[in-house]
Amino acid sequence: MKHLIQLMTVIFIITGFFTPAIAQVTGLEGWTIYLDPGHSRTENMGVHNYSEAEKVLRVGLALREMLETQTDIDTVYMSRTNDQQQVSLSDRSSHANTVNADFFYSIHSDAPSTTANSTLLLYGGWREGGETVEKTPKGGKKMGDIMTVDLTAAMRTNTRGNYADRTFYQGFPFQHTNTWPYLHVNRETMMASVLSEAGFHTNPVQNMRNMNAEWKRLEAQSAFWSVLTYHDIEHPPVGIAAGYISDIESGQLINGATVTIDGQSYTTDTFESLFHKYSNDPELLRNGFYYIEDLPYGDTLDVFLEAPGYYPDTTKIYIRSDFYSFKDMTLLSSQSPYVIKTDPEEGATGVRPVGWLRITFNRPMNRDSVEHAISISPEVEDLEWLWTSDHTQIGFSRQLLDYLTEYTITIGETAEDIHGHKFDGNSDGEPGGEFIYAFTTGPEDTEPPVLVTSYPDFTTEEEGISLQPILRFEYDEEVIEESITGESIKLIAPDESEVPGTIKSYLVGERSVIHFFPSEDLEMGVQYTVVVAEGLSDRYDNATANEVRFQFITGTTDIHELVSIDNFNAGVGSWWQPQGSGSTVGFITEETSREHDTEIVNLLTGSTGSLRVRYGWDIAAGTHLIRVHSPPTSDATSVKFDDEYILQAYVFGDGSGNRLRFVLEDGPGHLEASQWYTVDWTGWKLVEWDLANDPVFGWARGANGVLEGTLAVESLQFTYTQGSPHIGFINFDDYRVVKKITVGVEEIAGSIPVQYRLAQNYPNPFNPSTTVRYSVPEQSHVKIEIFNMLGQRVTTLVNETHNTGNYEVTWHASGASGTYMYRIEAVSLTNPDNRFVDVKRMVLLR
């Protein structure tokens, strides 16, 4: 090999440069490698609908072709060679072990971050006696060390490094409990092995690169060089030019740009050539990537660059022989500037004097020329035009506008961009024409904020309210923070004492929702009074003049067992980005993500973090589903429970009317779903799925609408409701399962009842406690209330579903001596016509 390089050097000196031929690399005879493109079919869908499985297969096929055609390697085996095979992990290791390959290389890409884009190499290993130990046979670490350098340089990104797999997933203790590899492909393969993660397919930029055929050759080329280095073989010289072509002003990557070097041309991907496979939007996808191989190396070559709508350009590139010759290039648009967006929109009515008026151009503008060309009618006093720093947006404060006025803004054709291109006012693709834009402001706001809805409902006296409620008050407009004080919401107990708590307001869209988080549990079965004070004000000093006062009655059930699934305080690592699931469809990827939110949290539980799901629906799509998956290896899915529990989550709704549901995996592996919950509330609300009694809907993997065996969370899912806002967000906090009991109610022994019955209380008269027994012959909803002789309800003792049986409940009276009535109403769940009502007297003697 050394002689070969020397010979090449001599020829280079003589000829200046030369064109490489496919070199026959020797030294791999008798050596075999097993290439394992991870996953199958279109699994692990990328953020723009190009999957990890599709990409890594093509990297593997390209690497096989390079090894077979350019070296004397004995055999290249592969675990799969097409997009149709569904290959299990056990098949992969069984096959590699049977063919007895020398090395096993598993090819993957990373998830679920939408912003990270690094490389990662994982060989089989663990910590033992304070040392990191590589599995035997060794070799995976060596290959990983080489690939970390080669792959990271090829992708021009950063790296997370090369790790023993168990240290990456379980840290660096002195001693791991399990002293064997963490990943299956390292654990069950009996040869040297390594797994690579080449960038994140959930990163939008990387996912668009992955679609490009030559990008996969770039990754394969780096792996090819790594294999040669692993054998201490210098790789043959190459002549590869690669890089990105972008718009010099916007930085946007250019579709359809053609690069020509030494007679070879390469045109970057376009919607027509490629991206139509993954999006209906002709403007959404772009990678600007070019890749030209087999160029003469050792010289500087001319580069000719052109693209529709851009001025052609030329530059030079030096073609090196030992690596890719990277050169990123820019082009200047030849198009006229035009307006791409206004806020408010053209023709908008009722525009409020809040925020900014904005006009956005497609490219940086010459400020002076625009300010000379722009006019507004009628004239606005003290108008001062403001620009964004990139000179693409002009605007002014809407507070300068008058009420109930139609405004027209005109930008004349003398406006120019910073390169002197004439303004295309009418957006016909040619310079010239005026841009004319009109909108109408609304009337002066003289009304104070109006309480629209609340929890508990302020229009009635609700019963059965939780002992740990979040009180929620939704207004029809923004209530300014300055008007909300510690006295704005009061929760008053029966003894007239105030329940301590925290008041917190959020602005959702243009409407405020105010919460009261009690800091102590409420008493069961008693009446509370809520007072919302006057003085809540909007931005125009319109304050509420009257207090709102209403009552509610707490229920008689309480939580007696609580198992946390995820409180989201430490992050949202148990949950994938929506784009990481192949089931996520009909969405706008830029508007869709799962994030960790430390601002909107459940103060009732002292939470410090919540899971926020941002969504953007593609209204034109036929199917809409966002799946935020929790993989089987996550902490959340490690929490097991059964259908004796109630699944609960605090959900901060956006009032959009879009829908969410919970999905569980049951014992047989079925994916079973709750009903869809319509998010018609704003702010925090406890959402529950009673696993034993609420309906179950089969979703996937043989689901049958029945929860069987051990359960674990699988995903949170969302769908679009026609006519609802298509962009919004929903937060989750304190995801958990609980068991409830009715406090004071006990099932008692006795024969199986054949009819409803309400027994006389005992003792009677009593002071201050007495017991009421009753019987239920079939599953029924039972309500027992106590009234004074004026017919006023004093309390509700029972308000819940009972199975067949005999029960008793004790009342601890706190009122005055006298006669009280107690009333039972029981309704059969299977036959609602079967209704039982009975009333009896009791006497309290103080």
Partner 1 sequence: MRFLLTLIFISIIAAGIVLAQGEQVSAAGEPEMLISREGEFLMAPNWSPDGTMIAFTHSRYSGLYVYNIENGEIEQISGEESAGFGFSWSEDSRSILARVTTYEGIRRLTAIKIFDIAEKQEEIVLDYRTGVSGIPQWTESGEAVVLYSRGQTQLMERSGDPQDRMEMQTEPSHIQPGITPARDIELLDPFPGEQYLNAVTSPDKQRIVFEVMGGDMYVVNTDGTGLTNLGRGDRPQWSPGGEYIVYMITEDDGHNYTESDIYAIRTDGTGQIRLTDSPSHLFMNPSWSPDGSRIVFNDMNDGKIYVLEVSR
Q: Which 194-233 positions form the footprint of partner 1 (CB under 8 A)? A: 230-231
Closest CB 124 distance from partner 1, rounded Å: 8
Q: Is 181 in the site for partner 1 (CB under 8 A)?
A: yes
Q: What share of the chain is helix, strand, coil (3-state, %, to 5)?
A: 15, 40, 45
Q: Tokens representing 320? A: 């090196």
Considering only the stretches 353-361, 441-449, 585-593, 705-713, report the one whose residues sit in contact with partner 1 under the rule CB under 8 A. 705-713
Closest CB 150 distance from partner 1, rounded Å: 17
Query: Smaller CB distance to partner 1: residue 31 or 517?
Result: 31
Residues near partner 1 (CB under 8 A), total: 62
**Of the residues 6, 15, 19, 85, which one makes contact with partner 1 according to CB under 8 A:** 85
User: Where do runs of H (alpha helix) occur along 16-130?
Assistant: 52-70, 89-99
**Of the residues 121, 183, 470, 713, which one makes contact with partner 1 according to CB under 8 A:** 183
**What strands lie across the sheet with 386-387, from one edge to the other?**
339-343, 356-361, 393-397, 386-387
**Of the residues 138, 372, 549, 841, which one makes contact with partner 1 according to CB under 8 A:** 138
Closest CB 121 distance from partner 1, rounded Å: 14
Mutual orientation of helices 213-230 and 140-155 as an angle, nearest 10°?
140
Query: Smaller CB distance to partner 1: residue 102 or 234?
Result: 102
Our CA dihedral for 718, 721, 722, 728, rounded to 10 degrees, sits at -70
Q: Is 633 in the site for partner 1 (CB under 8 A)?
A: yes
Q: Is 132 in the site for partner 1 (CB under 8 A)?
A: no
Output DSSP code: residue 234.
Answer: P
Closest CB 688 distance from partner 1, rounded Å: 24
Q: Is 173 in the site for partner 1 (CB under 8 A)?
A: no
**Of the residues 67, 76, 87, 301, which one makes contact with partner 1 according to CB under 8 A:** 87
237, 322 contact by CB (below 8 A) = yes
> Is the Cα torsion angle 699, 704, 707, 708 positive or negative in sign?
negative
With tokens 């790790």, the residue in question is 163
**Of the residues 69, 710, 814, 831, which one makes contact with partner 1 according to CB under 8 A:** 710
Output DSSP code: residue 200.
Answer: E
User: Where do runs of H (alpha helix) occur along 265-310?
Assistant: none
b/e per residue 626-665 (b: at least 16 CB within 10 A): bbbbbbeebebbebebebebbbbbbbbbbbbbbbbbbbbb
Considering only the stretches 236-244, 528-536, 625-633, 760-768, report the one whose residues sit in contact with partner 1 under the rule CB under 8 A. 625-633
Closest CB 215 distance from partner 1, rounded Å: 21
Q: Is 130 in the site for partner 1 (CB under 8 A)?
A: no
Q: Is 139 in the site for partner 1 (CB under 8 A)?
A: yes
* Cα separation values, 652 from 13, 626, 657, Å: 71, 17, 13
Q: Which 451-510 positions form the footprint of partner 1 (CB under 8 A)? A: none
Please give the Cα distance from 255 to 259 (Å, whole number).
Answer: 12
Considering only the stretches 185-193, 422-430, 589-597, 741-749, report the one whose residues sit in contact with partner 1 under the rule CB under 8 A. 185-193
Query: Smaller CB distance to partner 1: residue 109 or 775?
Result: 109
Q: Is 709 in the site for partner 1 (CB under 8 A)?
A: yes
Q: Mark 636-655 with x for binding to partner 1 (rule: CB under 8 A) and - for no binding.
A: ----x---------------
Closest CB 40 distance from partner 1, rounded Å: 7
Query: Smaller CB distance to partner 1: residue 137 or 494?
Result: 137
Closest CB 136 distance from partner 1, rounded Å: 6
Cβ contacts of residue 357 below 8 Å, gap of 6+? 343, 344, 395, 396, 397, 398, 401
**Of the residues 632, 705, 765, 832, which one makes contact with partner 1 according to CB under 8 A:** 632
Closest CB 511 distance from partner 1, rounded Å: 41
539, 558 contact by CB (below 8 A) = no
Closest CB 735 distance from partner 1, rounded Å: 20
Query: Smaller CB distance to partner 1: residue 308 or 709?
Result: 709
Query: Smaller CB distance to partner 1: residue 206 or 630?
Result: 630
Considering only the stretches 135-143, 535-543, 722-730, 759-767, report the one whose residues sit in contact with partner 1 under the rule CB under 8 A. 135-143
Q: Which 37-76 positions form the footprint of partner 1 (CB under 8 A)? A: 38-40, 43-44, 74-75
Query: Smaller CB distance to partner 1: residue 598 or 638?
Result: 638
Q: Is 559 in the site for partner 1 (CB under 8 A)?
A: no
What's the one-letter identity of residue 289? F
Q: Which 514-543 positions form the footprint of partner 1 (CB under 8 A)? A: none
81-89 contacts, C-beta under 8 A, 24 or more apart:
81/57, 82/57, 83/41, 83/42, 83/53, 83/54, 83/57, 84/41, 85/40, 85/41, 86/40, 86/41, 87/40, 89/184, 89/185, 89/188
- Maximal CA-CA distance, the chain: 119
**Of the residues 132, 159, 179, 810, which one makes contact with partner 1 according to CB under 8 A:** 179
Q: Number of H helices and number of E strands within the chain?
A: 9, 51
| Nearest-5° Cα angle at 506, 501 to 508 | 150
Q: Which 230-249 positions form the footprint of partner 1 (CB under 8 A)? A: 230-231
426, 462 contact by CB (below 8 A) = no
Q: Which residues bind partner 1 (CB under 8 A)?
A: 30-32, 38-40, 43-44, 74-75, 79-80, 85-91, 94-95, 97-103, 108, 124, 135-139, 142, 178-185, 187-192, 230-231, 631-633, 640, 667-669, 709-710, 712
